[in-house]
Structure 1
Amino acid sequence: MTHSHLNSARVSLPITADPVPALPLDSVALEDEYLSIARELDGDDASREAGDASLLADGALYHGGPVQWAFVPKVFSSRDIAYLAWIAETMGRIMDKVTSAFIADPRVRAAFALDPAIERLVCMPNPFSAQIPIARVDIFLDEQTGSFKFCELNTDGSSGMLVTEGVTRANLATLSGRRFAERHQVATFDIFDACVEEILSCYHEAGGTAAHPRVVAIDFAESIVAEEIEAFRPVFAEHGADLQFSDIRDLTYERGVLRDAHGPVDCVWRRVVISEMLEKRCAGSDALMACAADGVVPIVGGFRTWPCATKTVFAFLHSPLAQEVLDEEELCFVRAHVPRTYLLDESSDLSAFCEREHWIVKPRDGYNSIGVRAGRDCDEATWKTVLAEMRSSGGTVQEYVVPYATDNFEGGAASAGREVAPYMNMEGLFLFGGRFAGVFTRCGQSAVIGEFAGRLNMGCLVTE
């Protein structure tokens, strides 16, 4: 499978963003219009196979078939996008400040209580200016009121790029999508190019001199989205670099040279989640850590990004210590938009969280929604058990945010005839080098909008 860019115009990202949007967001009317077109076509069942075929061609797969996708994409105006850019870049600046404070202040490091070996690697000198080169900050956005709350921060692989492009293409392959595009000047994000440019910029800033650098995406073979890496390969080639995937278990490191099963590595793109790496500790993970400690081979998405990827970061942002790190405007942003989060331990009083509808629990170093349980999805007895387990394992309990819902229905040939129903939305805002670069959109009907909870992946269009 080769990656080909979408043919529609590319989004021109705002240089500055107005933090006060017009309300409701333009997306409300735009998505209603898109849905009305589909309804006029009696659900546009005839287009479903075309959407599936597009996903298969792009390699946007799940268990060998097309990913589950929503027939109606998110549709933002350029004015809406300016607001999203302000949200993302404000949180990006906060993440940078927290990272700097972690390195400079032992009190901050104590608050995060990371594995000592990881803590040392976080504090190693950074070979390039971007502390967090690649990130995705996930939000629940109420498009009627403009209010929003963060769900979590991602600084590891931050995947979702392939399905976002793939489902956007599938939407435009339908008759509904084509008719909508005939009415509006439609643009899409170029997430792939923006990501590759940031990775190679970091490589060159770190002193990389290879004329055709060999960039290796590192993860566990069972965890990587192989199709996404495959889609990135031609984009790296367009930028004069070679991208390959390597299982972390195959890494060795000796005398300043990091090798995988195929030879020396010029640049690492760390896709492996650090908590998963520690769970599955192996000789290859030790090699990666030794390489990071020496600082010879550039590691994009290195260990420095980990504090802001943990669930601890939200608890820290609400702590008294954060008042020494952030300015008053940033603290107001946190108070308004970061859900209250509490770290549990054996001494925690769980009675404060007995109203289960208001809370969600998450492992402190969790990933991929594993171990995340919302009180709304539990009965009383189960919720008590979940809280007790989280207390014994040292997890977190967080204010549950009711996501904004829009009417939608499942795409795909196998879902023909499905009724329109409310789906709760979540937006992931990509940041490359601290600059907003695109949106990863998905929706679901469970309280946890996760990969294992029947979520639908959504496309994302922007109108001028």
Structure 2
Amino acid sequence: MLQLAELNREYCEQIRQDRKVHAKSALKEISYMNGSTAKYHGRCVSTLYVPKMFTTEDIAYFRQLIKELYGIFDKVIDHYRSDAEYRSLFGYDKRLEELILREKRYNSNIPIARIDIFYNEATKEFCFCEFNTDGSSAMNEDRELNRGIRYTKGYEYLSEKYHLHTFELFESWVKTSLAIYAQTEGAVEKPHVAIVDFMESATNNEFEIFADCYRKHGIECEICEIRDLTFKDGRLYGKEEKPIDLIYRRAVTSDIMAHYEEVSDFIAAVKAEAVCLIGDFTTQIVHNKVLYHILHHPKTKTFLTESENAYVEAHVPYTALMDAEYLPYEKIITQKDNWILKPLDSYGSKGVFAGVEYESEAEWKEIVDAHRIHGYLVQEFCTPYQTKNIDFSKGADADFIDVSNLTGLFVYDGVFQGIYSRVSRGKIISTQYSEIALPSILVEEK
């Protein structure tokens, strides 16, 4: 049976045998990526030479962990909807609560997500980093990274010895979203689809690829600025004159609530059930990081099984609200490397502070004290698994470095669909700490 550690050693060893050839091929990969569509606000995704490789054993493991996690999610969502006392733990704006509590139009609680985990490839242990159920992205980055790596000598070596597979993330989503839409009352055979976001935050290239996939299925699709949607005569319209039947929502809930008055037509259409929204606002129950705290709450423990509670204890880091009456303050200050501060409802790693990034306890204390406010949580810090990689962007003299790994699991309607891999030279993997993306490849014996 293939082992990841052995695959990585093998890949690195064949690089050492002829660095110049590998370095030369790496420049072709970098050139491809610089001209690719894997750009966000004009910045091209950066990568390293060694890809993230996974085996069929890893994929089976991911499928199972997602199945268990989504069973827990469904129970939490059911209790949120049915129990006002439990619902109050989340502390949501009443306007948002009203949107969440609307009658469900389809079975799926979370149509699309990217579940980010810290995965120890040697022991198969993991802990959760983020549940991205709003605006889940980076499908196009993985697609382009897997095209770019084909220019490298390393990939050529690997493909001669093993069967290599990438994860398909576009056609599969189109089919999934249309199947979910088909469950709704009044669904039409060929819905008019709109991909909707705040365009200053949008990943436009990715939207275009999704739109093209819908069109290949004979479905009309437009990309819409959410502020520009118009609700009239009981139907919602974008730039085109045809009414929208199905919205693929990429606008995250926190942005919608922050611009609530500016998106009044969108909100009115949703409340009137004039359009099918995928995903609906139920996704916020999982997306908001307060869930980490609530999963450990005594009220949650009462309706989870013994096995599910053990799953939470093993994989969901201890989390406390920064404005809570009880906070393990002394531990947080004196054991700074064990803690990380995060906003409850954000994305793109904005406003994240990790104790390991600060040299002195005094400096960390300043950060902690400044964020003892509503809207922030403190969480046990999970040390990422490290692997070897190499950056040939500056020439063949590059040496191997240790990188920290974060594994993003794409989930479509509760089913594992693919992987988005990121690494960092430090212990923090986020856009503000110079994250690097790697192609994710499934490796099988020939």
The verdict on a shared fold, with TM-score over 0.5 as the criterion, is yes
Equivalent position of 1:32 in the other structure: 9
Task: Give the C-alpha shift of residue 346 in structure 1.
Answer: 6.6
Q: Is the 8 A contact 1:316 1:322 kept in 2?
A: yes
Task: Give the C-alpha shift of residue 415 in structure 1.
Answer: 6.4
Question: 1:275-320 deviations in whole A, cap 9, x for unaligned?
Answer: 1222233422x22222222222100011011010011101011110
- From 237, 244, 262, the equivalent of 2:222 is 244
User: Is 1:278 aligned with 2:257?
Assistant: yes
Q: 1:188 to 1:314 in 2, by over 3 A?
A: same
User: Is 1:167 aligned with 2:145?
Assistant: yes
Task: Give the C-alpha shift of residue 67 in structure 1.
Answer: 1.2
Equivalent position of 1:390 in the other structure: 371
Number of paired residues? 439
User: Is 1:267 aligned with 2:250?
Assistant: no
Equivalent position of 1:449 in the other structure: 429
Gaps of 5+ in 2: none
Task: Give the C-alpha shift of residue 36 in structure 1.
Answer: 2.0
Question: 1:101-120 deviations in whole A, cap 9, x for unaligned?
Answer: 11111122111011111111
* Paired amino acid for 1:397: V
Identity rate, percent: 32
Q: 1:260 to 1:213 in 2, by over 3 A?
A: same
- State the alpha-carbon separation in 1 of the partners of residues 3 and 309 from structure 2: 28
- From 98, 101, 104, the equivalent of 1:120 is 98
- From 72, 76, 94, the equivalent of 1:94 is 72
Q: Is the 8 A contact 1:78 1:463 kept in 2?
A: yes
Equivalent position of 2:160 in the other structure: 182
* Paired amino acid for 2:150: L
Q: Is the 8 A contact 1:208 1:266 kept in 2?
A: no
* Paired amino acid for 2:431: E
User: Is 1:42 aligned with 2:23?
Assistant: no
The range that moved more, 101-110 or 334-343, is 101-110
Task: Give the C-alpha shift of residue 63 in structure 1.
Answer: 5.2
- State the alpha-carbon separation in 1 of the partners of residues 9 and 25 from structure 2: 19
The range that moved more, 149-158 or 251-260, is 251-260
The range that moved more, 360-369 or 91-100, is 91-100
- State the alpha-carbon separation in 2 of the partners of residues 420 and 36 from structure 1: 11
User: Is 1:432 aligned with 2:409?
Assistant: no
The range that moved more, 190-199 or 327-336, is 190-199
Q: Is the 8 A contact 1:195 1:432 kept in 2?
A: yes
Question: 1:363-416 deviations in whole A, cap 9, x for unaligned?
Answer: 1112110001101112323322222232123310000000000001236x4566
User: Is 1:334 aligned with 2:312?
Assistant: yes
Question: 1:334-353 deviations in whole A, cap 9, x for unaligned?
Answer: 11111001112174543341
- From 60, 64, 67, the equivalent of 2:38 is 60
Question: 1:192-238 deviations in whole A, cap 9, x for unaligned?
Answer: 12211111112222246445432211111111111111222222222
Task: Give the C-alpha shift of residue 361 in structure 1.
Answer: 0.5
Q: Is the 8 A contact 1:360 1:399 kept in 2?
A: yes
After superposition, the CA RMSD in angstroms is 1.9
Equivalent position of 1:12 in the other structure: none
Q: Is the 8 A contact 2:19 2:396 kept in 1?
A: no
The range that moved more, 244-253 or 256-265, is 256-265
Q: Is the 8 A contact 2:323 2:374 kept in 1?
A: yes
Equivalent position of 1:7 in the other structure: none
Task: Give the C-alpha shift of residue 434 in structure 1.
Answer: 0.5
> What SS does the aligned partner of 1:308 have?
helix
Gaps of 5+ in 1: 1-21
Q: Is the 8 A contact 1:252 1:287 kept in 2?
A: yes
> What SS does the aligned partner of 2:433 have?
coil
Provide the TM-score with structure 2 as the length reference: 0.93
